[in-house]
Amino acid sequence: MTRPGLEVPEGAELELLGSDGVEIFDLLSEMGHEQVVFSHDPSCGYRGIIAIHDTTLGPALGGTRFWNYESDRDALTDVLRLSRGMTYKAAVAGLNLGGGKAVIIGDNKTRDREMLMRAHGRAIDSLGGRYITAEDVGVSVEDMDFVHVETESVVGIQGRSGDPSPVTAYGVYRGIKACAVKRYGDDGLGGRSIAVQGAGNVGYHLCRYLTAEGAKVFVSDIDDARTARCAEELGVEVVELEEIYDVDADVFAPCALGAIVNDETIPRFRFEIVAGAANNQLAGPEHDAALKEGGILYAPDYVINAGGLINVYSELAGWSSDRSHRKAGEIYNVLLDIFDLAESDGVTSGVAADRVAEQRLRRVGRLHRAPLLSGVKW
């Protein structure tokens, strides 16, 4: 099927298939998505996917990730998982937001960014406020300014809430303290050892909080300049990329990309706690159970890393930076409640977190959507 004037090259086929041969609409139904939009602007090489998972609580908000995926299917899988996680993150954090996410496919180190980001802004604007974006991996605050030229459906731009990384890191720090009090009966981190995977913006600020309290911190990252900065400024110990899984430490804090808690890494863990900022840390739901069976306390990623979402939400809600900081600090109590629920129901912490999120979504219901904020039209 083609539009007038649109020719499909000979032999080309449109395969509406997700991973493992699953048809896309079946995949969307299974994961509960409302809408997925594919956009392309050949004039600047823009290729983007926007996924809106659920708007029960409000407009879908989630960052834009710029990444050189191995395939379009990998990009689709990533955006579907990430957008679903945003729904649950907002619900557990008590925010009037739904879940969405966007990915731009390509080399995020390109210096020719303005027209690319403006094309992305036009794609977002076409959704009429159903999706609001922010920065994520491979995207900067400056990029968001370009997006803002084309749409008002963007947060985290300069002069407003800005870089969410410090607030994300503070929430993770508070979450690690909650894990410590659950595991050890004391939330003090002085003398504790923590392995931080990823020394980017969030990882750096997390290391700053941890070392300030007297924790022994190990760090790995693909970028030697990042680890060197942490070592020089904060006194952390740098380890090789693969060695981070074998460090003899109390806590493992993944702060890079996802799926790093898996069949290969879990048997290597000598950690008692997994609590970090990365999204989708578990390669699959079975690894939540594997951590529990191994006696490892897991802080569900979308709960402990909600500080960044809280930070950008402050723009929509009109919160001060102090209020955002306090709200991120509440992750401590949210996690303790989830751990208590997991214990009382005899389930994993991941299942308990899902139950908390789903309970709020059911309570609000689709007939009682929260109003859009900041004048964005529904």
Active site residues: 101
User: Count of CB atoms within 10 A of residue 245's CB?
Assistant: 21
Angle between helices 72-93 and 307-317 (to 10 degrees): 70
CA–CA separation, 153 vs 102, rounded Å?
13
Long-range Cβ pairs for the range 39-45 (8 Å, 24+): 39/119, 39/120, 39/123, 41/119, 41/122, 43/115, 43/119, 44/112, 44/115, 44/116, 44/119, 45/106, 45/116
Spatial contact of 345 and 313, defined as CB atoms under 8 Å apart? no
The structure tokens 């879908």 sit at 60
In what helix (H) or strand (E) does residue 67 lie, and over which residues does it extend? strand 64-67
Spatial contact of 319 and 326, defined as CB atoms under 8 Å apart? no
Q: If we measure between CA atoms, which residue out of 65, 100, 77 comes closest to residue 17? A: 77
CA–CA separation, 104 vs 64, rounded Å?
7
Spatial contact of 378 and 372, defined as CB atoms under 8 Å apart? yes
